[in-house]
Structure 1
Amino acid sequence: MDTAPPREPDEIAFPDEITFKDAVEADAPALVELIHSAYRGEASRGGWTTEADLLAGGRTDADDVRRVISTRGSRLLMVEQSGELIACCQLEHRGDAAYFGMFAVRPNAQGGGLGRRVLAEAERTARETWGVKSMQMTVISVRDDLIAWYERRGYRRTGEMTPFPYGDARFGIPLRDDLAFELLVKNLA
């Protein structure tokens, strides 16, 4: 069961300025903890992005995070507030497009506009760094609330589906048999 989608405030207030920086391999354990907290387990239920009713187990591991950090044409942006890691996202250069993934916001920081701000910075970074014309991502197709959030930010559903990797514990332990990934795309040009 999905929780309520985030509120859409007219003004976004951040008591302390946030900073964006590229992750390094030593950041991997903290990033894994952040990503897991946003999507899996009981702690994730404090935010609206939880997948706890869809998947059990982990969402990523330190090796996957280090691979993203060290791969050419890939960046993992960390977002900090008062020195605390509160959000992250992956950007990967794919020709005329960039791929957006590993997006996580701490559950207690969700619903106040931070995710929208991180997404906008990721789009700006991809456009300015690589000159890409579009941003792509995959979202679990049954996540209607999350897909609607992305649609309000200009992403469109493509109908292109990729089967969920059932049996590969790196992606979690499915609690349903109808999971698939849908490709979402936004024009950045």
Structure 2
Amino acid sequence: MGKVSHPVDDAASEVAGTLLPGAGPIAGWISSGLREEWQRLTSRALKAAESISGRSREDLEELLEQDPALMPLYMRVLWAAGMNGHDETLRAMGAVLGEAARASASGESDSVHDADQALMAMSTLTPRHFRVLRYVCTHPMRGARGKSGWIAKHVADALGLTEDRAAWCLSDLLGTGLIGSRNGAFGDPFYWATELGEAVVQASASLDDT
């Protein structure tokens, strides 16, 4: 009897083959050191997905196989594990994948589409972006979420960044849905962490403890 093919395994093999054209099955696609690092990063992402979705790894993989809308999201995470390589980026993407899995199980299709857009934007985030996100999450401005929040200059001063770099990071994070924004009375945008942004930071912190 032939080996049973599973969509989750097939997705991993497909991404591996795309990253290195001509590669065979995932178990032998690159040198052992690079393969182990890719698998480690993928595992970190899936742990965050488990934490946010409230599902075990087996239940999560079953849901990925059953819902065709989730498989492209999983493949985005696999691709980022090979191309981005930043631990915290992969944790954040895993958290978004977990939120999409939770939304899928609840029949919230719009939230799944939101997650797909967020993952596309998140694949280029760097550790600097997460320094900014963590700061905004752990130092919330009183009356934030629409009435006030952080401006780029204050974030820059707090983290030792130039104002341009802080504004750049905040703008990138805004595009992922991890941060919200509105224009202030004097023209400077206010920024605050969204619920998804707070969930991402919480998932990342919980993985630091494991």
Q: Larger relative contact order (C-alpha < 8 A, sep ≥ 6)?
A: 1
> TM-score, normalised on structure 1?
0.29
Decide which structure has greater strand share. 1
Query: Over alpha carbons, which structure has the higher Rg?
Result: 2
Higher helix share: 2
TM-score of the aligned structures, taking structure 2 as reference length:
0.27
